[in-house]
């Protein structure tokens, strides 16, 4: 069974002072989960922090790298057909960042019975508009 980290994410961000809304939804008709813009699970707001608005992709710590590629790679390989196709997410993510928003990939891992390890990958654009990231861990 796939873990659902959305409740943990919401609690984690609220402890950091963000108002958070989970925007990932189950589409029963299509039988799939749908993210905002194809890659964001939550939107978080805090007028006292920069950036004020965050788009968050939530996952396990071990899947952070694959989520990074999901957001930033210009091509993706379809899991079923194995056909390489253009990935629309990088253009959407660049637009989101160019509007002054932030993107975080937040990963969780069980550290003990009641404790969770958290890793945050903060995505931004460098001066050449290429994706860059900075990782930080919280025990």
Section 59-77 average pLDDT? 94
Query: With 50 as the cut, is the pLDDT of residue 1 above it?
Result: no
CA distances (Å), origin 16, targets 8, 48, 55, 96: 13, 11, 15, 22
Give the whole-number percent of the chain exceeding pLDDT 70: 97
**Is residue 1 included in any domain, yes or no?**
no
Our count of domains for the chain comes to 1
Contacts of 86 (CB under 8 A, 6+ apart): 74, 75, 76
Prediction pTM value: 0.89
Q: Please choose, from the candidates 75, 77, 134, 128, the residue with its C-alpha nearest in 3D space to the C-alpha of residue 102.
A: 134
Does the pLDDT at position 108 exceed 90?
Answer: yes
Q: Is the pLDDT of residue 7 over 60?
A: yes
pLDDT of residue 21: 96
Which token pair is 4? 């659902």
What is the phi/psi pair of residue 85, to 5°? -140, 160
**Cα-Cα-Cα-Cα dihedral sign, residues 24, 14, 108, 70:** positive
Confidence check: pLDDT of 61 > 70: yes
The pLDDT of residue 138 is: 78
Where does the pLDDT of residue 78 fall: very low under 50, low under 70, confident under 90, or very high at 90 and above?
Answer: confident
Q: Are 53 and 103 in contact (CB under 8 A)?
A: no
Residue 115 has a pLDDT of 84
User: Is the model more confident about 48 or about 114?
Assistant: 48
Can you give the residue range of the structural domain that contains 113?
Answer: 6-138
- Is residue 3 over pLDDT 70? no
């Amino acid at each position: 069974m796939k873990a659902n980290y959305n409740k943990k994410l919401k609690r984690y961000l609220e402890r950091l002072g963000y108002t958070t809304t989970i925007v990932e939804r189950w589409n029963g008709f299509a039988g799939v989960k749908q993210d905002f813009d194809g890659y964001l699970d939550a939107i978080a707001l805090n007028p006292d922090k920069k950036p004020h608005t965050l788009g968050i992709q939530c996952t396990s710590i071990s899947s952070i790298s694959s989520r990074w590629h999901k957001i930033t790679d210009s091509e993706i390989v379809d899991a079923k057909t194995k056909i390489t196709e253009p990935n629309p997410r990088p253009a959407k993510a660049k637009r989101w960042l160019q509007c002054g928003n932030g993107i975080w990939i937040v990963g969780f891992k069980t550290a003990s019975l009641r404790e969770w390890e958290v890793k945050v990958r903060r995505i931004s654009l460098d001066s050449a508009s290429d994706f860059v990231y900075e990782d930080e861990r919280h025990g």
